Amino acid sequence: MISRLLVANRAEIASRVFRTARKLGIETVAVHSDADVALPFVAEADHAVRLPGNAPAETYLRADLVIEAAKVAGADAIHPGYGFLSENADFARAVEAAGLVWIGPAPESIEQMGSKIEAKKIMAAAGVPVLEAPASPVESDLPLLVKASAGGGGRGMRIVRSLDALGAEIAKAEAEAASAFGDGTVFVEPYVEAGRHVEVQVVGDGAGNVAVFGERDCSVQRRHQKVVEESPAPLLPDAVRSALHDAARNAAAAIDYRGAGTVEFLYDAASERFWFLEMNTRLQVEHPVTELVHGVDLVELQIAVAEGVGFDTPPPSGSGGSTNGWAIEVRLYAEDPSADYQPQSGTLATLEFPGAARIDGGYTSGSEVSTFYDAMLAKVIVHAPTRDAAIRRLVSVLRTAKIHGLVTNREQLIGILGSDAFRSGEVTTALLAKENLLSTVDDPGAAVAAAVALAEATRRPRVPVAWRNVTNQPQRTVFEDDSEDGLVVEWYGTRDGYRIDGFEVIDAGQDRVVLEKDGLRTTYEVSIDGARIDVDSSFGHTALRKRPRFTDPATQTQPGSLLAPMPGSVISVLAESGSSVTEGQPLLVLEAMKMQHTVTAPTDGVLAQINVKPGTQVAAGEVLAVVEEETS
């Protein structure tokens, strides 16, 4: 019996495992980098051990440091979570060699499924359908998909639509895979343009017995990374559903799988055919939707199997045969979908959700989001009797959540859930490649409420704000927007309160304003943080920034300056100082939060100045280089 459990991970998944451990009466140990010391998961653990440094390579990816931390803390078991070392066979062996319980599959299973090339061979031998890569592709084989054999999370993956580009795309995928996984092996397979990503949850006892806990649809993806997941999968014929479950069971049994794992398939709805993609030999990010629909605790099952509970004894949380209702999960990321998904970092001023959802989160109000790790802030999951009810409930939770301080993908998630494609259930992995589905908050009262709150924050007690005997000129509050004049709110401060055309101010305070327009009364909650103002109402969230009356010359940059769109590390510099460049030409590549961003030339000209080199750490807004337009 496990008595003290170390989680070799961070943030959301560490908190999730701790929750089950506490339920079972197991003590918990957190390991943390310097950047993560103030995050909630560290405080939630009974014990914590520091891993000096910040970058994953010097902290969470250091198997020796993690095992030493377990010894220091007196832990007798290690749970790897997902990502980092969770699918590292050498780490699993080292844990067992140290006399600790490894909560995961046998190292041999990890190795067999860790190479997508070898995994396909094993699956084919077990009778599981696989996509066959053409030996010598021709035009009729297009499009093709280049994939990293040891990859995941969309890295080392390239779609190829021209045979002329195949060689270059393979080279790029090899370089990216070598950087991300230490293994540059890639392979090519047919790319199913309008496929659905359907995966099956399995739990094995290591003796060939496998329980299946239904399937999940994870087709909504950006950059080959999942954004929305649900269970059960919509519009799936019963015969296909049954065949998927059988294929997953056979796949896991073929390697005597132990613990929780996921078998992923690509499904073509038109032909009702499916093919094996890969097996994740760990707990998946999206496991909560399975837990809610099947009434199980998958972490509890992982621990039970690790403690030797075989399937001759019923699993402690049920056998997973029947389903109950519908569950949908969305991943809330600190990123800007309107700017090529640039990751965001900084202080998360407010993060609050209403009580109608399960929140598996790694951050809280006031947390600092660093550039060293994945940009996911939280998973928001709802469970309802029907799919339509789950969608409506999830949209409401997202719209009324308070998320201040950082740009997130919240509006995109709302747009996805409200789209005709998603509501019909006919989603494919190409959904976000066609449009980003950003929803918009159309609420003219938000700026008015912000202006009133700002005025209230600066007025003296019992003195009407900006009151004048002769009110022939309105006061003006200007917020930043894309126009030259900005977003202007004009208002008067009178003895009787505020007067604003079109709006009646029912109640005014610096954190709460009630407005009425055309007979409709709306309450606005306002948060002021310097020049940034966040406004929340039943319409949704609006982030505003007050425009300064005068521009500080020190903030001006010379024309042609290329500014860092995010804090991060310079991966490569692709042009030399003094060279001629063309508009759109890649000049530098930055990396932050496990994502890369290419900085391109804004115009034809000469690269007059380069201020960075590979390895340079840069802050958001820092001048990376300067392109001067060529003159006649």
Tell me the pLDDT tens digit for each residue of 137-169: 888 888 899 988 876 667 788 889 999 999 889
Mean pLDDT value of segment 467-488: 82
Q: What's the confidence (pLDDT) of residue 279?
A: 96
Distance CA 587, CA 585 (A): 6
Asked whether residue 263 falls in the same domain as residue 411, the answer is yes
Segment 267-285 shows an average pLDDT of 95
Q: CA nearest 226: which of 215, 235, 217, 234?
A: 217
Residue 493: count of CB within 10 angstroms of its CB: 20
39 with 159, same domain: the answer is no
Are residues 255 and 315 both part of a single domain?
A: yes
Question: Does residue 117 belong to any structural domain of this protein?
Answer: no
**Residue 23 sits in which domain range?**
4-103
Phi, psi angles (nearest 5°) of residue 137? -65, 145
Cα–Cα separations (whole angstroms), residue 359 to 201, 237, 351, 536, 554: 21, 31, 11, 20, 43
For residue 319, pLDDT over 50 is answered with no
- Other CB atoms within 10 A of residue 54 CB: 16
Per the structure, the count of domains in the chain is 5
Beta bridge partners of 522: 515
| pLDDT of residue 547 exceeding 50 | yes
Is residue 439 a part of any domain in this protein?
Answer: no
Give the pLDDT band (50/70/90) at residue 496: confident
* Mean pLDDT rounded to a whole number for the chain: 91
**Residue 318 clears pLDDT 50, i.e. is over it:** no
DSSP 357-392: SEEEES--TTEEE-SSS--EEEEEEEEESSHHHHHH
Phi, psi of 125 (to 5 degrees): -65, -30
User: Is residue 114 a part of any domain in this protein?
Assistant: no
Same domain, 520 and 614: no
Do 142 and 35 belong together in one domain?
no
Could you report the per-residue pLDDT of 248-264, keeping only the tens digit for each? Answer: 999 999 999 999 999 99
Q: Please tell me whether residues 346 and 253 are part of one structural domain.
A: yes
pLDDT at residue 465 is higher than 60: no
Q: Is the pLDDT of residue 469 over 60?
A: no
As a whole number, mean pLDDT of residues 162-190 equals 86
Total-model pTM: 0.87
Angle ∠(606,608,612) on CA atoms, nearest 5: 125
For the ranges 187-191, 270-274, 576-580, 586-590, the maximum mean pLDDT occurs at 270-274
Instruction: Give the whole-number percent of the chain exceeding pLDDT 90.
Output: 70
CATH number, position 581: 2.40.50.100
Q: How far apart are CA 338 and CA 350, in angstroms?
A: 22
| The pLDDT value given to residue 522 | 97
Whether residue 92 is predicted with pLDDT greater than 50 in this model: the reply is: yes
Report if residue 112 sits inside a domain. no
Q: Which residues lie across from 380 on neighbouring strands?
A: 330, 359
For residues 424 and 458, membership in a common domain is answered with no
Whether residues 391 and 480 share a domain: the answer is: no
In the chain, what are the helix, strand and coil shares in percent, each to the nearest 5? 25, 35, 40
Model confidence at 618: pLDDT above 90: no
Per-residue confidence (pLDDT) for residue 555, from 0 to 100: 52
Q: Is 173 in the same domain as 270?
A: no
**Token digits of residue 259:** 């613990």
Would residue 48 count as lying in a domain?
A: yes
**More confident call, 566 vs 16:** 16
Indicate if 179 and 216 belong to the same structural domain: no
Instruction: Answer yes or no: do 337 and 370 share one domain.
Output: yes
Residue 73 in this model has a pLDDT that exceeds 50: yes
Backbone angles phi, psi at 168, to 5 degrees: -65, -40
pLDDT at 140: 81
pLDDT at 320 (0 to 100): 47
* CA–CA distance, 560 with 558 (Å, rounded to integer): 6
Is pLDDT of 632 > 50?
Answer: no
Domain edge (last residue) among 190, 208, 239 = 190
**Rounded Cα distance, 102 and 93, in Å:** 8
Report if residue 337 sits inside a domain.
Answer: yes
pLDDT of residue 553: 54
How do residues 380-432 score in pLDDT, each as one tens digit? 999 999 999 999 999 999 999 999 999 999 999 999 999 999 999 999 999 99
Question: What tens digit of pLDDT does each residue of 320-371 get?
Answer: 457 899 999 999 999 999 988 989 999 999 999 999 999 999 999 999 999 8
